[in-house]
Amino acid sequence: MTTPNALVIVPTYNERANLPVLVEQLLRHAMVRILVVDDQSPDGTGDIADDLARQYPGRIEVMHRTGRRGLGRSYVDGFRAALGSNADVICQMDADLSHDPAHLPALVAATAEADLVLGSRYVQHGAIVNWPLRRLLLSRFANQYIRLVTRLDVRDCTTGYRCWRRAALADLPLDRISSDGYSFLVETLYMAARRGARLAEVPITFVERREGESKLSGAVIFESILMPWRLIAAHDRP
């Protein structure tokens, strides 16, 4: 494959300070197009995304979702749109600048040998910057717990920085996805692994956001505790 063309799906909820910076950095990579999936952000991120789409014609599309908001729901809608485009590689990335666009070429390149590439904080040369100890421990524990229950053989099951080969994404039963938040990330990873997807991890340095607020909530954490058990119960049925 020559350089594949990559569609980066960026879900946004109140990211007005971050989105223009992210877009400018991402579009330095010639192979990249962007799909912003905004959930009617009260801070007007959707309008800013429309402005950016006008500023970079042909390189950005904006999906304005209505109805129930959610990270998982936004990605499912974004995946469907991406599979209707000609993208060879479909990427997932947070809008808050935690995921450095400079890592993207390495992730995309790794799709030459893998179906799903994870931008990983927990492999050698991976790192996390500016997380309080509490959050570091929570993430570490969550990943160990998920690996133990699901037997997934990757270090960073909850990373939101990912690149899919088109065929592997097309293989997922998107209408069977039941979760949102972090669980959505684990569920889709698990589904892919069960379908025989080749997984790879590429080290990233994750930098906690400076602008805006995290939407991580207690409910999301609670969903994550039950999720691995639901996964092995539901998806191991033939």
What string of H, E and C letters represents the secondary structure of 57-75? CCCEEEEECCCCCCHHHHH
Residue whose CB is less far from ligand GDP, 210 or 215: 215
Which amino acid is located at 134 in the chain? R
Least distance in angstroms from the C-beta of 99 to Mg ion: 9
Whether the CB-CB separation of 205 and 129 falls below 8 Å is answered with yes
Whole-angstrom Cα distance, residue 81 to residue 62? 11
Amino acid identity of 167?
Answer: A
217, interface contact from ligand GDP, Mg ion, none, CB < 5-8 Å by kind: none
Q: 93 vs 169, which CB is nearer to ligand GDP?
A: 93
Told to check if 180 binds Mg ion by CB under 5 A, we report no
Residue with smaller CB distance to ligand GDP, 71 or 114: 71
Nearest partner of 10 among 75, 69, 68, 64, judged by Cα? 75
Q: Which residue is nearest to ligand GDP (CB)?
A: 214
Closest residue (Cβ) to Mg ion? 96
65: Cα separation from own chain's centroid:
17
Question: Tokens for 107?
Answer: 């992730």
Name residue 32's amino acid: V
- Which of residues 12, 41, 74, 98 is near Mg ion by CB under 5 A? 98
Q: Are 34 and 27 in contact (CB under 8 A)?
A: yes
Beta-carbon-side half-sphere exposure of residue 108 (alpha carbons within 13 Å): 25
Residue 230: strand, helix, or coil? helix
Shorter beta-carbon distance to Mg ion: residue 194 or 209: 209
Residue closer to Mg ion, measured from CB, 96 or 223 = 96
Site residues for ligand GDP per CB under 6 A: 11-13, 15, 37-39, 69-71, 74, 94-96, 98, 209, 214-216
To Mg ion, the closest distance from the beta carbon of 232 in angstroms equals 28
Task: Considering only the stretches 67-75, 97-105, 169-177, 187-195, report the one whose residues sit in contact with Mg ion under the rule CB under 5 A.
Answer: 97-105
* 96 lies in the site for Mg ion, by CB under 5 A: yes
Binding site for Mg ion (CB under 5 A): 96, 98, 209
